[in-house]
Amino acid sequence: MALKNLQLFRPVNPGSMLYHRPATPMRAPPTALSRTISRSAETLVGSAKAAKDIKRKARSTEHPGPLVKGSSSIGLPALVAGDRGAAHTVRDDESLRSRSRNGSTEHPGPLVKGSSSTALPALVEADRAAHTARDDESLRSRSRNDSGSSRAGSLDRSTRGSSSQLSDEDNINVVVRVRPLNNKERGLGGREALQFPGKGQVVCDAGPGQKPKVFSYNVVFEPAATQEDIVEYSGIKRLLEMAVEGFSCTAFCYGQTGSGKTHTLTGPPGLVEKGTSPHAPEHGLVVRSFVHLFRLIRDRPDSHFILKASFLEIYNEKVIDLLNPGSARKPLQVRWSKESRSFYVENLFTVDCEELDDLFAVLEEGMRNRAVGAHAMNANSSRSHTLLCVRVRRDLRADGSVTCSTHGKINFVDLAGSEMTKKTQSSGKTLEEANNINRSLMVLGYCIAQLSDGKKRGHIPYRDSKLTKLLADSLAGNGVTLMIACIAPTKANLSETINTLRYASRAKKIKTKPIVKMDARDALILSLKREVEALQAENQHLRTALHVQTDYSIDAYNNRRPLPQIEPSKLLQLPPAELVDLVQIHMDENTALRRENTELFSIRDQMLRDHELVSRENERLLKKLEDVNSVCVRSPIIPARPTYSETAQSEKDQPNIWTNPEVTSANTSSRSGGS
């Protein structure tokens, strides 16, 4: 039936790159994830100083809401269950004293409306100018060094995986960054063991007599690559755009200790903690992403955005809230949500971020509180895995008069480095940390191996570590993921480098199924509205085709309740009772349209049957006619009638089949002869 093929849930923005997968919400229906739980009213408490420094702080249970199975199966109670919050407590202020760097003014209310934020445009403009200047300079320096390649000495891209379009499934995007030799390695005369022949390849020189190992990735950043190159060419911008559109996105760095993971994400040690200007060129992916995120928000004045950030670390298998560690660093629990079928951290602190400065404050605070230690291979080694999450709620006018909310997020994950304890000379506390780090990375590696083995995909041991529990959705769920594999260039690190490259190659094979997360209520109204429109279009088409408008339309169609026209801005404020009524009206409309279309289909079927009968009758009559004709051929009086098919061919030449052709031609020739 045509109805089955109708695309009832059309893309919100057909021009957007995200919507090459328009059927997604039907296949994996909208979920009621990411309830925004922190209440701004509750959070605006604390000392005047803290209130000035950081706008809203709240402890929240980031318990995802009920998973909606499909628009047709959503019960109304699920719709109004909406914003279920839990455990809202107010956080004491002193531990999270943010430094307002640009003296930005207080901004009332939790909404950041497109370009209306006062502090944002200045920052973004400044960044844009700085960015352009840096870009020019970097291009100039590149062309000075250029040896023919467009990204000489810094970047090497393969053509594969460069598409910005989403298919039904999306592979994890894997890029590799090679750090330059450090002073210690240079002093020891460390030799580089890697070559970059192009097309996203890394060749590891395995030593004399051994075959070099070749690995291929989407992009390889050679040692000369700048922080800016990483943002421009790693695909992070695409992830940020997707987070704004409602997808769950993750960027994570993986690699041995000292390979440059933290440097890639947040720059050299101490840069963020010192409160360096966000436009400093050493800043890493995270700060640059924040700036880009606000630029994206500013470019969408049709939408309202609410950003919330949280920052945690997994230290010795314990989850610590980096925004509110407390003196005892009490661990938080990782729980399983049956409804959303994903893991979440209970009581994790989230901070509303109206301005770029708020996000910096979150990063700064978290970086200051995370566990760092020294060992033989890195004086500033991360002793924990950190996960910084920015949730992006977007309220937009999706389809004519309907407003809907999407809930995207971007996670930045700095994994602690794998360690060979002999090389790092770890002992005591550092050794315990190293063992925990290696164990959780081993579980991650095992999950990646299982996930990448498309054929034999069996049990994935996510539950074996906190890290894999929290990354489960990014690795194989409904998210979009970027993996940055960090490696050191020297021969001394070759075995770890090859391990990392193997990990990265496996990860490249993993596919996720990205979906946009929406509020169940909005999604239901939107889908019902679209369904009504689709059914109306089909209805109209059938009416036109069957010429039944006149007598059919009056009774059934016009007697129905008219659909109310609700202002999009008012939809969100509708009381539950009216909302239920609105949904009911749309459901009634759908039912009526379906009934009507079924009737139209049955009329059409009846007409097809009639047509079939008439055709058969015609054929029977023609056959009879041909029989009569063949009898006539034998008759000396009546000339033969051509067969039906011949008639069709020669109808032009012989319009009157009952005319004796011989007689006609004789008459014609005598007439022409006479003339």
Ligand X SMILES: Nc1ncnc2c1ncn2[C@@H]1O[C@H](COP(=O)(O)OP(=O)(O)OP(=O)(O)O)[C@@H](O)[C@H]1O
Whose structure tokens read 């609105």? 582
Give dist(CA 425, CA 428) in Å, integer: 10
The yes or no reply on residue 234 touching ligand X (CB under 6 A) is no
Tell whether 366 is in a known binding site: no
Minimum Å gap between C-beta 161 and ligand X is: 22
* 540 belongs to the binding site for ligand X (CB under 6 A): no
Smallest separation (angstroms) from ligand X to the CB of 326: 24
276 is a contact residue toward ligand X (CB under 6 A): no
The answer to whether the beta carbons of residues 632 and 639 sit under 8 Å apart is yes
Residue of the chain from 31, 257, 436, 590 that contacts ligand X (CB under 6 A): 257
180 binds ligand X (CB under 6 A): yes
Tell me the H-state helices in 6-160: 24-27, 40-43, 48-53, 76-80, 119-145
* Rounded least distance, CB 380 to ligand X, Å: 5
CA distance 605 to 597: 12
Which range binds ligand X by CB under 6 A, 159-167, 380-388, 402-410, 603-611?
380-388
Determine whether the annotation assigns residue 159 to a binding site.
no
SS3 13: coil
584 is in an annotated binding site: no
Q: Which long-range contacts (CB under 8 A, 24 or more apart) does 545-554 make?
A: 545/604, 546/600, 546/603, 546/604, 546/607, 548/600, 548/603, 552/600
255 binds ligand X (CB under 6 A): yes
> In terms of CB distance, is 22 or 269 closer to ligand X?
269
Residues 389-448 that bind ligand X (CB under 6 A): 416-417
In this structure, the strands spanning 385-399 and 402-414 are antiparallel
Is the CB of 55 or the CB of 263 nearer to ligand X?
263
Site for ligand X contains 70 (CB under 6 A): no
> Is 153 one of the binding residues for ligand X (CB under 6 A)?
no
255 marked as part of a ligand binding site: yes
Q: Which member of 46, 258, 445, 489 binds ligand X (CB under 6 A)?
A: 258
Does 665 belong to an annotated binding site? no
Determine the interface stretch with ligand X among 1-9, 377-385, 473-481, 508-516 (rule: CB under 6 A).
377-385
Q: Would you count residue 366 as binding ligand X (CB under 6 A)? A: no
Q: Does 381 bind ligand X (CB under 6 A)?
A: yes
> How wide is the angle at C-alpha 433 spanned by C-alphas 467 and 192, nearest 5°?
90
* Shortest Å, Cβ 225 to ligand X: 7
Binding-site string for ligand X from residue 479 to residue 518, where x marks contact by CB under 6 A and - marks none: -------x--------------------------------
Q: What backbone phi and psi angles, to 5 degrees, belong to 157?
A: -115, 140
Q: Does 246 engage in binding with ligand X (CB under 6 A)?
A: no
**Cα separations in angstroms, 351 against 110, 268, 339:** 11, 25, 24
Residue 382 makes contact with ligand X by CB under 6 A: yes
Q: Is 438 exposed, middle or buried (0-12, 13-18, 19+ CB in 10 A)?
A: middle
Tell how strand 173-178 and strand 479-487 pair up: parallel
* Residue selected from 262, 324, 590, 629 as contacting ligand X according to rule CB under 6 A: 262
Which CB, 185 or 321, lies closer to ligand X?
185
Q: Which two three-digit tokens encode residue 182?
A: 């450090």
- Which residue is it, tokens 């379906």? 594
Q: Across the beta sheet with 213-216, what order do the strands follow?
A: 194-198, 201-204, 213-216
End-to-end CA, the chain = 65
Q: Is 184 annotated as a binding residue?
A: no
- Helix crossing, 285-298 with 119-145: angle to 10°? 120
The 3-state secondary structure of 427-472 reads: CHHHHHHHHHHHHHHHHHHHHHHHHHCCCCCCCCCHHHCHHHHHHH
Q: Considering the rule CB under 6 A, would residue 34 count as an interface residue with ligand X?
A: no
User: Is 31 assigned to a binding site?
Assistant: no
Residue 386 in contact with ligand X, rule: CB under 6 A: no
d(CA 430, CA 383): 8
**Backbone angles phi and psi of 195, in degrees to 5:** -125, 155
- The answer to whether 228 touches 390, Cβ cutoff 8 Å, is no
Q: How far is the CB of 45 from ligand X (least distance, A)?
A: 36
Number of residues that bind ligand X (CB under 6 A): 20
In the three-class reduction of DSSP (H, G, I as helix; E, B as strand; rest coil), residue 257 is classed as coil
Please check whether residue 93 is in contact with residue 47, taking contact to mean a CB–CB distance below 8 angstroms: yes
Residue of the chain from 131, 263, 292, 308 that contacts ligand X (CB under 6 A): 263
For position 380 contacting ligand X by CB under 6 A, the verdict is yes
284 contacts ligand X (rule: CB under 6 A): no
| Closest chain position to ligand X (CB) | 417
Contact, 629 vs 646, CB < 8 A? no
The residue among 283 and 304 lying less far from ligand X, judged by its C-beta, is: 283
176 touches ligand X (CB under 6 A): no
198 carries a ligand binding annotation: no
Show binding-site residues for ATP: 255-262
Positions that interact with ligand X (CB under 6 A)? 179-180, 182, 255, 257-263, 268-269, 378, 380-382, 416-417, 486
Show binding-site residues: 255-262
